[in-house]
């Protein structure tokens, strides 16, 4: 069996919060995080925004994404509930603010932030519009070529644990990175995988339905049975969930080909929703109509 190789979504996604704020001291960490063990030494931290991965080795910890700056105190509290080991690396799966907002705080507490080179480029562009005092948290270790079609791989060997990072090409954005531990059959897929909801495709940042599907197909090409998958949003998934998601993307692709040139409203009306009732809109942020427009390659405003 082949080894498990892993070689703007809005700055905020309040509709995807997994927990409500509790009334508390304004200085206390926001109690929005929930931790779920996924595999030996691997955890998913749910909160507001994208799902966070936590990998714990014999002497260190690695974070995968970090949600929002204001939630970092609560995030660190959740991490300390699992381990008191220092966080050595922070990996960004892509540049969206609900996955990288905590960078500016966490950069002072980690050895390095790791991401695809296009993530650093896009964060630099965003931060150029900010006051200098509010800038920071750019990835120090940026791998891969600016051309998102070029595949890129990076292996981190930490305390006897081998962690694979991979960019298989543009999908959700032009800088997606998938992260996994082959020995534990564990992967964090970032926003390549939305489990139980319509996926957001950031067309304005190089994303496409074809690229999203190609990434999922690549993962399924080597994914072993019994793998545990952290999606960018939604509950922890399995091989079966990813296959279902792949089949949904293929159904959308076929629907678009059968109705060339149609807008989101007409595509929505003609779609067999009953067959795919387990895929839900994201409130008013991502309706079926808007999803079809994005899937057809039409960015917002067109």
Summarised one tens digit per residue, pLDDT across range 165-218 is 999 999 999 999 999 999 999 999 999 999 999 999 999 999 999 999 999 999
Q: What is the DSSP string of 123-154?
A: HHHHHTTS-GGG-----SEEES-SSTTS-EEE
Q: What is the mean pLDDT of residues 2-25?
A: 37
Does the structure show a pLDDT above 90 at 28? no
Cβ neighbours for 209, distance < 8 A, ≥ 6 positions apart:
201, 249, 252, 253, 256, 294, 295, 296, 297
Q: What is the DSSP string of the chain?
A: ----------S--GGG-SSPPPP--TTSPP---EEEEEETTEEEEE-SSS-EEEEE-SS-EEEE----GGGHHHHHHHHHTT--S-EEEEE-SSS-HHHHTTHHHHTTTSSEEEEEHHHHHHHHHHHTTS-GGG-----SEEES-SSTTS-EEEEEEETTEEEEEEE-S-SSSSS--EEEEGGGTEEE-GGG-BSSBPPP--GGGT--HHHHHHHHHHHHTTPPTT-EEE-SBSS-B-HHHHHHHHHHHHHHHHHHHHSTT--HHHHHHHS-GGGGTTSB-BTTTB-HHHHHHHHTT--TT-
The residues spanned by each domain of the chain are 14-295
- Determine how β-strand 178-181 pairs with β-strand 61-64: unpaired
> Mean pLDDT in the chain?
90
Confidence band (pLDDT; 50, 70, 90) for 134? Answer: confident
The per-residue pLDDT for range 57-77, each reduced to its tens digit, is: 999 999 999 999 999 999 999
DSSP β-bridge partners for residue 112: 89
Per the model's pLDDT, the better-predicted residue between 21 and 132 turns out to be 132
Does the structure show a pLDDT above 60 at 23? no
Prediction pTM value: 0.89
Asked if 259 and 270 touch (Cβ cutoff 8 Å), the reply is yes
Per the model's pLDDT, the better-predicted residue between 256 and 7 turns out to be 256
The per-residue pLDDT for range 34-51, each reduced to its tens digit, is: 999 999 999 999 999 999
The per-residue pLDDT for range 260-282, each reduced to its tens digit, is: 999 999 999 999 999 999 999 99
Rounded CA gap, 138 and 112, in Å?
A: 9
Residue 25, pLDDT score: 44
- How crowded is residue 156: how many other Cβ atoms within 10 Å of its Cβ? 19
Q: What is the share, in percent, of the chain residues with pLDDT greater than 70?
A: 89
Residue 27, pLDDT score: 52
CATH of the structural domain 14-295, one choice from 3.60.15.10, 3.40.50.1100, 3.40.640.10, 1.10.3210.10: 3.60.15.10
Q: What is the mean pLDDT of residues 91-97?
A: 98
Rounded CA gap, 93 and 232, in Å?
A: 9
């Amino acid at each position: 069996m082949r080894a498990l190789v892993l070689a703007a979504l809005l700055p905020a996604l309040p509709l995807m919060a997994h927990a409500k704020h509790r009334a508390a001291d304004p200085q206390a960490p926001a109690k929005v995080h929930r931790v779920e063990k996924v595999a030996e030494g691997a955890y998913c931290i749910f909160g507001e925004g994208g799902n966070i991965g936590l990998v714990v080795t014999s002497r260190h910890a690695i974070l995968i994404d970090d949600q929002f700056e204001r939630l970092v105190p609560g995030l660190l509290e959740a991490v300390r509930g699992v381990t008191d080991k220092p966080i050595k690396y922070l990996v960004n799966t892509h540049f969206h603010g609900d996955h990288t907002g905590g960078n500016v705080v966490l950069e002072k507490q980690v050895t390095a932030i790791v991401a695809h080179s296009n993530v650093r480029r896009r964060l630099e562009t965003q931060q150029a519009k900010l006051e200098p005092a509010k800038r920071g948290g750019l990835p120090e270790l940026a791998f891969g070529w600016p051309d998102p079609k070029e595949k890129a791989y990076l292996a981190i060997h930490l305390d006897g644990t081998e962690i694979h990072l991979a960019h298989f090409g543009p999908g959700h954005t032009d800088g997606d990175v998938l992260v996994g531990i082959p020995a534990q059959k564990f992967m964090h897929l970032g926003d390549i995988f939305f489990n139980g909801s319509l996926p957001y495709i950031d067309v304005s940042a190089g994303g496409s339905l074809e690229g999203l599907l190609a990434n999922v197909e690549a993962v399924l090409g080597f994914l072993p049975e019994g793998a545990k998958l952290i999606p960018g949003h939604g509950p922890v998934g399995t091989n079966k969930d990813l296959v279902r998601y792949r089949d949904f993307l293929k159904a959308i692709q076929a629907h678009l080909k059968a109705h060339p040139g149609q807008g989101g409203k007409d595509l929505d009306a003609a779609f067999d929703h009953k067959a795919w009732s387990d895929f839900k809109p994201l409130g008013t942020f991502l309706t079926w109509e808007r999803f079809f427009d994005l899937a057809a390659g039409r960015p917002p405003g067109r």
